[in-house]
């Protein structure tokens, strides 16, 4: 065989082998999807939606970590979903990420109240069976006491819930909790039947006393009526929270704060009624009592259109707060 024919045969063999190897690689490479420009395994997204609770939570935690630098709203959404599945690590990360300087005030308040609501429903256990409520309540106490927005009365209320859930002796002796116990006059080990009754599931149409957030510097007296105007999106509205002590988010079909959604979730955190007007949800001077939350669908977002908007314009009439 001539040198030319031998070289051609060798080249053909190499090309054939390369084609076979490429085919094998294509067949075995995991399928990927892109979320906000980030490639993630399709199987991971599927597990976050359809697997059993433990696997779903693990997948949500992994997705949240991958998305944090590119899309913080989506990252927090996955952590919230994992926390809803009562995964302790997701709840820890949800609070920690929400308290990050890159999160806004509304996201912080929402995460604090959401995790507190989960804790009020009963134990949240680690894989080794340890109840983590005391640890998570500690994080909430610290947040309300030292991180904006600060609320001394809210920190006291959370500490009260922490004690009723069963505060560990070593935790009660930590400098922070010992100082907070001294400031509030509460005693570790006491049981309050009134507070325990709040652990029962509460409907969205009921006022919740724990969903009230007196802000630092507020006085009992209130001034004239004023109006706070804002647009609620997946990251809430700091203007509305700071101006009227009302928390409002655009949420998707699952009730999760999201960049694209179909409903307005709103709650009055103040101690006095406020009045909501929003053409997008068909509301005009709708009264929201203290601790009262509402989930209001956006008129243009039909079932067929799904999550169809990125913001809900609204105004809230409220008494001017004297500070």
* In the chain, domain spans: 39-97, 105-189, 222-321
* pLDDT computed for residue 198 by the predictor: 31
Q: Per-residue pLDDT for 62 more than 80?
A: yes
Check pLDDT > 90 for residue 276.
yes
What φ, ψ does residue 38 adopt, rounded to 5°?
A: -105, 125
- Rg (Cα) of the chain, in Å, rounded? 25
Looking at residue 221, its pLDDT comes to 55
Higher pLDDT, 173 or 86: 86
Give percent above pLDDT 70 in the chain: 79
pLDDT at 202 over 90: no
Query: pLDDT at residue 4 above 70?
Result: no
> Which pLDDT tens digit goes with each residue over 250-274?
999 999 999 999 999 999 999 899 9
**Dihedrals φ, ψ of 241, to 5°?**
-65, -45
Q: Mean pLDDT, the chain, as a whole number? A: 84
- Reported as type and span, the H/E element at residue 104 is none
* Concatenated DSSP letters of 132-149: -HHHHHHHHHHHHHHSSS
Query: What does the pLDDT read at residue 303?
Result: 62
User: Predicted confidence band at 16 (pLDDT cuts at 50, 70, 90)?
Assistant: low
Please state which of the ranges 40-44, 132-136, 191-195 shows the lowest mean pLDDT: 191-195
The whole-angstrom separation of Cα 19 and Cα 12 is 11
> For position 23, what pLDDT does the model report?
54
Q: Is 231 helix (H, G, I), strand (E, B) or coil?
A: strand
- Of 140-144, 209-213, 214-218, 237-241, the poorest mean pLDDT is in 214-218
Separation of alpha carbons 107 and 57, rounded Å:
21
Location of structure tokens 């959604």: 261
Over range 161-183, report the average pLDDT.
90
What does the pLDDT read at residue 219?
A: 55
DSSP, collapsed to helix, strand or coil, labels residue 223 as strand
């Amino acid at each position: 065989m001539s040198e030319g024919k031998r070289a051609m045969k060798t080249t053909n063999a190499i090309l054939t082998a390369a084609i076979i190897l490429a085919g094998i690689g294509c067949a075995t490479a995991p399928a990927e999807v892109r979320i906000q420009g980030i490639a993630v395994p399709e199987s991971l997204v599927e597990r976050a939606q359809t697997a059993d609770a433990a696997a779903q939570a693990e997948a949500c935690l992994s997705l949240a970590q991958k998305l944090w630098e590119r899309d913080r709203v989506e990252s927090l959404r996955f952590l919230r979903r994992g926390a809803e599945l009562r995964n302790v690590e997701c709840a820890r990360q949800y609070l920690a990420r929400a308290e990050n300087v890159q999160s806004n005030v509304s996201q912080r308040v929402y995460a604090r109240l959401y995790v507190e609501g989960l804790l009020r429903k009963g134990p949240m256990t680690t894989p080794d069976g340890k109840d983590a409520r005391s640890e998570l309540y500690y994080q909430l106490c610290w947040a309300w006491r030292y991180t904006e927005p600060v609320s001394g009365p809210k920190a006291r209320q959370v500490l009260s819930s922490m004690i009723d859930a069963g505060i560990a002796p070593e935790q009660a002796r930590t400098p922070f909790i010992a100082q907070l116990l001294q400031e509030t006059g509460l005693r570790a080990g006491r049981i309050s039947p009134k507070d325990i009754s709040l652990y029962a599931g509460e409907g969205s149409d009921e006022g919740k006393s724990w969903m009230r957030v007196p802000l630092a510097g507020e006085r009992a007296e209130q001034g004239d009526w004023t109006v706070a105007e804002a647009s609620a999106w997946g990251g809430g509205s700091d203007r509305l929270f700071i101006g009227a002590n009302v928390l409002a988010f655009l949420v998707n079909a699952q009730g999760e704060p999201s960049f694209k959604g179909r409903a307005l979730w709103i709650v009055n955190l103040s101690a006095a009624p406020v009045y909501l007007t929003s053409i997008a949800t068909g509301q005009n001077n709708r009264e929201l009592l203290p601790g009262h939350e509402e989930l209001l669908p956006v008129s243009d977002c039909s079932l067929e259109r799904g999550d169809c908007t990125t913001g809900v314009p609204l105004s809230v009439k409220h008494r001017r707060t004297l500070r």
